[in-house]
Chains A and B, each alone.
Chain A
């Protein structure tokens, strides 16, 4: 469990750097996200990531009980099934996902995440050293193997987040909950 937490923590650091790289290079505009916080939690694993957008930068933090503008809670297997292409609307109908908050904010984050394109091992090696990066890569592939045959775990997570965050807008159940 601890190694999983370390694994996710490394991903949070890498994701933060990747997102801010986009901002620094003016490839995305995050003005509309200023002051917003978006949370993603896996209920049965120590993954609790918050995206905090302020001062034209994004912070990716874990483990906080602060309220968010959008909060997504689900179990790891549901998350994996989403990554595998499971229909979010159906999962919502089955009460397997909890989503609360501002869908517009979620959409903006999704647009941002869509722009992220990183090679996890290559990026990690720049600031953790090749040995750690290699270990990280092994862990990544191990996790990745559970749900997919792809060699790009970040793309899977990104796509999964996109699906997760985009679909609530289309969901009648979500609209009903927020009406």
Chain B
């Protein structure tokens, strides 16, 4: 099955995955924030808050938020870097980027730049950013290793990568509940609230196909990062990986 990759539990042509993912996010963009709040019981805000607290970002820093969607992280980074810093909110999906632009405007956040890009080919010079973040986006990237290498390239020495992503829980009980919730409740809620059951079925499947904590840590190190550690959140349902380029 050369030149194929996974799209949820399906095997698809590698070249097709990007457009399939794009279709998913085109269809959920307008309800994205609402669905995040409902499906995670608001916990996604705490996970993102923890990510920002772990970022080590300061005044005048340059920050790139990949797959930034509605801009939750970019808003907080903007507050941290101040007017002398630079925050770029990026996404491969134009509909998500537009939602981000609307969201920031509605919240009175200005000074954030918007760039539509593919994480596998970042249009920036080497050694440019003090921090790169990607929250709930890496699992949708077709070639994750290539994306991690690109992120490593554009980070300055002494800067960090933050990957906030669904992961694997070791708790048997939690896993049972989570599996039931993911495959039985989440798609139904997606159907009721966003009128899109299939996209939330994909969400559940894509989470299961994403590398576990240790595998992702090794991928980060293989991409060139000198250090990488991860912190499990909510029992490992989500993990924050922090890679350091020295």
Contact = CB atoms under 8 A, between A and B. Distances in A.
Interface in B200-246: 226-227, 229, 231, 242, 244, 246
Interface centre among A16, A34, A61 (most CB of B within 10 A): A61
A35 B231 CA distance: 24
Contacts of A50: 227
Contacts of A13: 53-54
B163 to A, nearest CB: 15
Interface in A1-60: 9, 13, 16-17, 20, 23-24, 34-35, 37, 50, 52, 54-57, 59
B199 interface: no
A50 B242 CA distance: 14
Contact of A55 (B159, B226, B231): B159
B158 interface: yes
Contacts of A35: 158, 246
A62 interface: yes
A90 B107 CA distance: 61
Contact count band on A: 20 to 34
B157 interface: yes
A59 B160 contact: yes
Contacts of B157: 54-55
Contacts of A142: none
B59 interface: yes
B72 interface: no
Query: 6 nearest interchain CB pairs?
Result: A55-B158, A54-B158, A127-B53, A24-B58, A61-B229, A54-B246
A49 B159 CA distance: 18
A61 B229 CA distance: 7
B233 to A, nearest CB: 12
Interface of A is mostly: mixed
Interface string B152-186: 00001111100000000000000000000000000
A57 B56 contact: yes
A26 B50 CA distance: 25
Interface string B60-83: 000000000000000000000000
Nearest to B52: A127
B53 A17 contact: yes
B50 A56 contact: no
A147 to B, nearest CB: 27
A62 B229 contact: yes
Given A54-B157, A55-B130, A64 B53 contact: no
A34 B158 CA distance: 9
Given A20-B56, A127-B53, 16 more contacts: A9-B231, A13-B53, A20-B58, A23-B58, A37-B246, A50-B227, A52-B227, A52-B244, A54-B158, A55-B159, A56-B158, A57-B58, A57-B158, A59-B56, A66-B227, A127-B50
B97 to A, nearest CB: 29
